[in-house]
Structure 1
Amino acid sequence: MRKIQKWPFLLLIIFCFVSLLAACSNNESSKDTKTDNKKNGTDVKSISTEDVKSNLNNEDWIIVDTRSNDAYNGWPIDGVKRGGHIDGAVDFSADWLKVKDKQLDNKLQQELKDKDITKDKHIVVYDANGKDSKEVAEYLSKSGFKNVYQYDVKEWAAKNELPMESYPNYEMLVPVSWVNDTIKKDNDGKPYKIFEASWGDEAQDYKKGHIPGAVHINTDEVEEGPVWNRLKDAELEKFALKNGITTDTTVILYGSDSMPAFRVAVILKYMGVEDVRVVNGGYTAWANAGFDIEKKENNKEAVASFGVKVPANPDYIIDLAEAKEIADDHNKVSTLVDIRSWDEFTGKTSGYDYIEPKGRPAGSVWGHAGSDNSNLEDFRNLDNTMRNGYEIQKMWEKDGINLENKLAFYCGTGWRAAEVLFYADVLGMKNVCLYDGGWNEWSMDPANPVETGEPTTK
């Protein structure tokens, strides 16, 4: 009988045991990296930069920026090397999950649908702080989404060869963190002014609390009834001098509602102020960030000279005569764009208790707005920050607006259209302006051609 060789047999047992341990270790490691949120009750996987890159143009995948709207627009926030968003990414900010609204979940679900974030796709949610993507991933998981991956965009931003996009003039729309830094650093010596804009002398919201150092502007300081056009140029210059504004002043505007701030901002740009900023999300964004709030009323500080002849940017705001030329443009190189609700555009309502006529200037094109004359849901996110600019432009193109044309925006009396003009400017659109008088002025003269009902052609 042959003797069994013990050493080879023992080595074989040891080898098998070591292999088994290695396999268990690899499986556990794979589990940790691919489903690293299992312990938090979500089924979310991590993903590498290479995998994000390889699936960037895969229609079965969608890349979602979960950071603040400011970061998406272009601000380098949370330590990213480059500001902006991954080329082609949609936005679904974690900030939207915190909005106080009884219909919030329904609105969030509609946002997912509108952005084509669907359960049949692989969804990459990214941020730069580890918190935003986690919150959105958890929301998606609770909503029944399965194929969700988390990613740290700092890795992408650190590689210059990987494509990122920012709006050309994103700095016009500022995050509250930038305002806070500007106050603390005194803007590196450059003159700046902060204004809270609203209608009315009493300024109740301002008195309840405002950004430190802010001065109140009543919109009556820049416009007057019954048309509610901007004041004459000489009066606007007096307004600027009274408020300490020159052509070189960095002007930062905000409000409890942002619409009046955009109205003042557009008029200041028309006058010739070179650096006009509006706080993205308004006073609510400031309060939600937990920054200091001041209650004492700050006085206006006058200056002696504006620095340039007003208006230095006259084409930024146009009046009735030019609006009529645009509406009657048979060459189709310019467009009068209506920034009112659909019911206002089609003539079901005038939108205002002090405007009786209903309809629209003949030849104008609907550019969307919101539910009524006080809202701009079509241009704002759930937290009242600026809507994704590519979605805005896609919406306009769908309704037959040629983005290569000269676009003159109007509304009822200039507020809504001013905000949309500012957004168009943020997006880098060159040939854009405000028709100041809007429907209010147009409707005052029966000789001006008017249309009602749904347009027959786009």
Structure 2
Amino acid sequence: MVVNRKAIRLLLLGSLLVLSACSNNNTAGKNKKETSVVTQNIKTDELKANIGKDDWVIVDTRANDAFNGWALDGVKRGGHIKDAVDFSADWLKVKVDKQDEKLTEVLKSKGITTDKNVVLYDANGKDAQNVVEYLQDKGFKNMYKYDVKEWAENQDLALEAYPNYEMLVPSSWVNDLINNKNYGNPYKIFEVSWGDEAKDYKNGHIPGAVHINTDEVEEGPVWNRLKDKELEKFALRNGITKDTTVVLYGADSMPAFRTAVILKYMGVTDVRVLNGGFTSWKNGSYQVEKKVNTKKSVTAFGTVIPANSEYIIDLPEAKAIQANKNNGTLVDIRSWEEYTGKISGYDYIEAKGRPAGSVWGHAGSDSSKLEDFRNIDNTMRSGSEILSMWEKDGINMDKELAFYCGTGWRAAEVLFYADVLGVNNITLYDGGWNEWSMDTSNPVEKGEPNKK
């Protein structure tokens, strides 16, 4: 018999490959079984009993709007469970540089750690599971899921909502507004940005939205709001009365907040900002249009402007607050480098420093950022975290708080957030550092403040 050694070698090699594959598959299955974490549903009574315990953390995985107070996904009452922290499943979809590194830092800051029992709740049966799978890859094992609808149905169980959460609206609410599901005042939707070109607007916007150029509400060189008579013309030209529900948004939300604060100062009683900006609208897969909608004017605003004059103050009032620190505080919403005078933060502002006696209120990494007040998807950060941050800064909430930045944009957004949270006696110092630094007689400080 002739032995085909080549055929035998191939046969033996094939057998080894099959055995190897089987061995690898069995090992993979064994490892998968060993690393798989089985989460179980937790009952309401057990959840209630463990709230506040050091080795337990309650995590709201829903959209930020639900945490703030909106009743979404069929929940009877909006808001979050007491002592719950937020870690939205939406944040896992955000594409940013060093996303996982940033989310890992968020977990740590909120006390969501592997040594704790972690309860993750939602209302749609999806959000909690998505976060479970993310945490499982990070070594979390003791995880439980909970349907918050059960909690919301029991009126004896408290849910915490921000006093003015309705000022920040979800994209679903705006969509309902467009489709006549919200009944109330006449409404206007505006996309806000700087410049006449309106590139973002023309690339696609919320149906029916009209573009507002921030030059319509403020002017240089100080970049304060326009005079009251000019603001009235702006309102009439854009069809805004004191009774109009005004919804504002943008590719970046900061110009929208700037305009929102000015409208509230003027006397518009119902001003809303889309939480998370235009990105939240696109993530909701709602319709987008590209046609340029024209402004439709009205003949009367309905009240004398400003009807809410205390919402924005100018240099004389800011100097009075600076001179009497027992009654009020100038709160600096700029980067630490700007606050301490290392940089001015602006190419058109030469002076460096801060108004003497002002307190740092945090901001972001540069003059166009507000990471300290925003989540990774640019929605508003947890209110308890904002207030805790200010408490550590030594900001007394019982005093009048006048927020300022360089020219008013960052401070306007933070003022709006403070309003959402129900902080009283708050205002925007419109001129900010730009105006303060123009008069060399105004007291200025640099460097790190003295801690007393």
Post-superposition CA distance 1:401-435 (Å, at most 9, x none): 01111100000000000000000000011200000
- Scaled by the length of structure 1, the TM-score of the pair is 0.90
Q: Does 1:83 align with 2:85?
A: no
Does the residue aligned with 1:185 lie in a helix, a strand or coil? coil
CA distance in 2, matches of 1:111, 1:419: 22
8 Å contact kept, 2:61–2:128:
yes
The aligned counterpart of 2:175 is: 180
- Which residue of the other structure, out of 358, 365, 371, is the alignment partner of 1:371? 365
The aligned counterpart of 1:5 is: none
CA distance in 1, matches of 2:407, 2:92: 33
The aligned counterpart of 1:99 is: 94
The aligned counterpart of 1:29 is: none
- Which residue of the other structure, out of 348, 358, 361, is the alignment partner of 2:342? 348
1:246 partner amino acid:
T
The aligned counterpart of 1:169 is: 164
Q: Does 1:135 align with 2:130?
A: yes
Cα offset, 1:189, TM superposition: 5.7
8 Å contact kept, 1:345–1:452:
yes
The aligned counterpart of 1:198 is: 193
5 Å-filtered alignment, 1:218-229, equals 218-229=213-224
8 Å contact kept, 1:247–1:307:
yes
The aligned counterpart of 2:310 is: 315
8 Å contact kept, 2:121–2:145:
yes
5 Å-filtered alignment, 1:301-340, equals 301-330=296-325, 332-340=326-334
Q: Does 1:62 align with 2:57?
A: yes
The aligned counterpart of 1:268 is: 263
- Scaled by the length of structure 2, the TM-score of the pair is 0.92
CA distance in 2, matches of 1:39, 1:146: 12
Does the residue aligned with 2:178 lie in a helix, a strand or coil? helix
Post-superposition CA distance 1:243-273 (Å, at most 9, x none): 0000000000000000000000000000000
Residue identity over aligned pairs, in percent, reads: 70
CA distance in 1, matches of 2:215, 2:38: 55
Does the residue aligned with 2:331 lie in a helix, a strand or coil? strand
The aligned counterpart of 1:408 is: 402
8 Å contact kept, 2:37–2:141:
no
1:236 partner amino acid:
L
Post-superposition CA distance 1:137-181 (Å, at most 9, x none): 111111001111000000001101112100000000000000000
Deviates more, 1:251-260 or 1:156-165: 156-165
- Which residue of the other structure, out of 144, 147, 150, is the alignment partner of 1:149? 144
| Alpha-carbon distance change, 89 to 315 in structure 1, aligned in 2, over 3 angstroms | same
Post-superposition CA distance 1:344-366 (Å, at most 9, x none): 00000000000000000001000
Does the residue aligned with 1:112 lie in a helix, a strand or coil? helix
CA distance in 1, matches of 2:375, 2:187: 28
Cα offset, 1:119, TM superposition: 1.1
Does the residue aligned with 1:171 lie in a helix, a strand or coil? helix
Cα offset, 1:40, TM superposition: 11
The aligned counterpart of 1:238 is: 233
- Which residue of the other structure, out of 345, 353, 360, is the alignment partner of 1:359? 353
The aligned counterpart of 1:14 is: none
The aligned counterpart of 1:418 is: 412
The aligned counterpart of 1:72 is: 67
CA distance in 1, matches of 2:34, 2:295: 56
| Count of aligned residue pairs for this structure pair | 421
The aligned counterpart of 2:23 is: none
CA distance in 1, matches of 2:256, 2:62: 24
Does the residue aligned with 1:335 lie in a helix, a strand or coil? strand
- Which residue of the other structure, out of 375, 387, 391, is the alignment partner of 1:397? 391
Post-superposition CA distance 1:420-452 (Å, at most 9, x none): 000000001120000000000000010011000
8 Å contact kept, 1:43–1:141:
no
8 Å contact kept, 2:405–2:411:
yes
2:442 partner amino acid:
N
| Alpha-carbon distance change, 207 to 63 in structure 1, aligned in 2, over 3 angstroms | same
Cα offset, 1:39, TM superposition: 12
Task: Name stretches of at least 5 consecutive residues in structure 1 with no aligned partner.
Answer: 1-37
1:146 partner amino acid:
K
CA distance in 1, matches of 2:264, 2:225: 13
Tell me which stretches of 4 or more aligned residues in structure 1 moved more than 2 Å.
Answer: 38-43, 186-190
Task: Name stretches of at least 5 consecutive residues in structure 2 with no aligned partner.
Answer: 1-32
CA distance in 2, matches of 1:121, 1:43: 16
- Which residue of the other structure, out of 297, 315, 329, is the alignment partner of 2:292? 297
Does the residue aligned with 1:440 lie in a helix, a strand or coil? helix
Cα offset, 1:457, TM superposition: 2.1
CA distance in 2, matches of 1:213, 1:39: 54
Does the residue aligned with 1:150 lie in a helix, a strand or coil? strand
The aligned counterpart of 1:35 is: none
The aligned counterpart of 2:17 is: none
- Which residue of the other structure, out of 120, 124, 133, is the alignment partner of 1:125? 120
Cα offset, 1:83, TM superposition: 0.3
CA distance in 1, matches of 2:110, 2:120: 13
Does the residue aligned with 1:70 lie in a helix, a strand or coil? helix
Cα offset, 1:57, TM superposition: 2.0
5 Å-filtered alignment, 1:6-17, equals none
Does the residue aligned with 2:180 lie in a helix, a strand or coil? helix
The aligned counterpart of 1:454 is: 448
1:375 partner amino acid:
K
Post-superposition CA distance 1:311-358 (Å, at most 9, x none): 00000000001101111214x221100000000000000000000000
8 Å contact kept, 1:241–1:304:
yes
8 Å contact kept, 2:120–2:143:
yes
Does the residue aligned with 2:183 lie in a helix, a strand or coil? helix
Cα offset, 1:190, TM superposition: 2.5
Q: Does 1:436 align with 2:418?
A: no
Deviates more, 1:43-52 or 1:76-85: 43-52
| Alpha-carbon distance change, 189 to 166 in structure 1, aligned in 2, over 3 angstroms | closer
The aligned counterpart of 1:385 is: 379
Post-superposition CA distance 1:183-208 (Å, at most 9, x none): 00164363000000000000000000
Post-superposition CA distance 1:374-413 (Å, at most 9, x none): 0000000000000001100000000100111110000000
Post-superposition CA distance 1:6-50 (Å, at most 9, x none): xxxxxxxxxxxxxxxxxxxxxxxxxxxxxxxx8994432211111
8 Å contact kept, 1:194–1:253:
yes
